[in-house]
Chain A
Amino acid sequence: MGFEVLLKGKNMIRLLQGLGVALKISLISVVISIVLGLILGMLMSLKKPVINMLSRIYLEIVRIMPQMVLLFIVFFGFTKLTGRNLSAEVSSIIVFSFWGTAEMADLVRGCLQSIPKIQYESSMALGLTRLQTYIYVIIPQIIRRLIPLSINLITRMIKTTSLIMMIGIVEVLKVGQQIIEANRKSSPHAAFGIFATILLLYFLACWPISCLARYLEKKLV
């Protein structure tokens, strides 16, 4: 069924290395997204008109523009605009962080809104200062709600990074195609085995993280 090709030479290791490239880019983008998203989400809940308007435009762009389109704009547009080449890796990290930051900011804003006002009041009634209320009462509650949501963002980021092959990064799908090409004669069914394996690899990367997110959501919230 084409699985035998995986046992030839270093094929399996090459596939895993390809997956590693995708995972590395998702991890970097997730970290950037979480940091920037936390900051933007808090800015958004200040309810300042200018910030509100700008962030709404930003969120709407991310909501309707496919990441693939953004990837093309950054990858090809940057070269066109500056005459210099932006590496595919950097382009993809920029785009995925741009997307992830918007997602994260929206989650943070939602969490901040979901803490009832009377929680602030009961802290005040106990004599806690505004700062103490945030440190001991509000922020710990927000973090608890955010942890499962941010973990979910990781799986979505991993799935999204499969797009990077389209701007020429040699990741797991590209490696797969190369292996299929190279073994066209000896293993005519390689396409089935290789793509099934890649499907499984992505599943093995994302599924445990999804389960963890679900478990934490039940436990923490």
Chain B
Amino acid sequence: MNEILKIEHLTKKYDDLTVLDDISLAVNKGEVLVIVGPSGCGKSTLLRCINGLEDIQDGKVSIDGKTGMVFQSYELFPHMTVLQNLMLAPVKVQKRKKDEVKKEAGQLLERVGLSAKKNNYPRQLSGGQKQRVAIVRALIMHPEVLLFDEVTAALDPEMVREVLDVILDLAKQDKTMLIVTHEMAFARAIADRVIFLEGGSIIEDTTPAQFFDAPRSERARKFLRTFEFENVH
């Protein structure tokens, strides 16, 4: 197996508050890792530490290549059209040729069903459309690892599906992905491996079938129960 991301003894603190406590994790190429856990457990912080948005107090993160990240709040640049949003980083950071980037942007937009929107501004798009553009914006940089930080949490329910379908499509192309999500059905469908995080530590690291059907820890069982409803009749 071909390790692409390796986290060793990662510790992250805000002043006295320990958010991530001695996390060790290795991800193989093509693996889809879903990270779940109650709010405040450090899932998002973990992603932010991986791509260097947060400095870490202890430990090591090594990546074979670069990361791309998609945020909950899309964070498209509001003053640029969809196409300009997509082209900015490849042209300015990677110094790629405009024509080539434009062509690729066109192909990727086609793939997520947004060819018609390439000259629109973000404010003219729905939440689901914005998020699909944000995913393309990350993809076009050809990252080795894709990080998704609760990308459907701000969306209306009917738009969740269109975004998740794009991510499912990426999984079929064997992209390496780390996905933080609250969509349990989606997590189960897409994950090769599930990480359950609580209180800044990894409580379970297992297969989706094992995690969802027979979680080993009481804490994971309790967490999963919050997604179930008793039958009232």
User: Which residues of A are at the interface with B, using a C-beta cutoff of 8 A?
Assistant: 118-119, 121-129, 132, 136-137, 140-141, 144
Report the interface size for chain B: residues with CB under 8 A from the other chain.
Answer: 21
Is B214 interfacial (CB-CB < 8 Å)?
no
Contact between B78 and A141, CB atoms less than 8 A apart:
yes
A-B pairs under 8 A by CB, number: 50
> Is the contact region of chain A dominated by helix, strand, or loop, or is it mixed?
helix
Q: When A126-B141, A127-B66, A140-B79 are in contact, do A118 and B93 touch as well, CB less than 8 Å? A: no
Tell me the smallest distance from the CB of B178 to a CB of chain A, in Å: 13
Contact between A136 and B71, CB atoms less than 8 A apart:
no
Scoring A123, A125, A132, A140 by chain B CB atoms within 10 A of each residue's CB, the highest score goes to A125
Contact between B141 and A118, CB atoms less than 8 A apart:
no
Contact between A144 and B93, CB atoms less than 8 A apart:
no
Contact partners of A123 in chain B: CB under 8 A: 77
Contact between B71 and A122, CB atoms less than 8 A apart:
yes
Contact of B92 among A118, A119, A136 (CB under 8 A): A136
Is B75 interfacial (CB-CB < 8 Å)?
yes
Contact partners of A122 in chain B: CB under 8 A: 69, 71, 75
Closest to B74 in A: A122
- A124→B92 CA distance, assembly (Å): 12
- A67→B101 CA distance, assembly (Å): 54
* Other A-B pairs beyond A125-B138, A126-B68, 8, CB < 8 Å: A119-B77, A124-B53, A125-B69, A125-B71, A127-B89, A128-B89, A137-B77, A140-B79
Contact of A118 among B68, B71, B138 (CB under 8 A): B71
Contact partners of B68 in chain A: CB under 8 A: 125-126
Contact between A121 and B53, CB atoms less than 8 A apart:
yes
Contact between A126 and B71, CB atoms less than 8 A apart:
no
Contact between A132 and B73, CB atoms less than 8 A apart:
no
- A137→B75 CA distance, assembly (Å): 11
Contact partners of B141 in chain A: CB under 8 A: 126-127
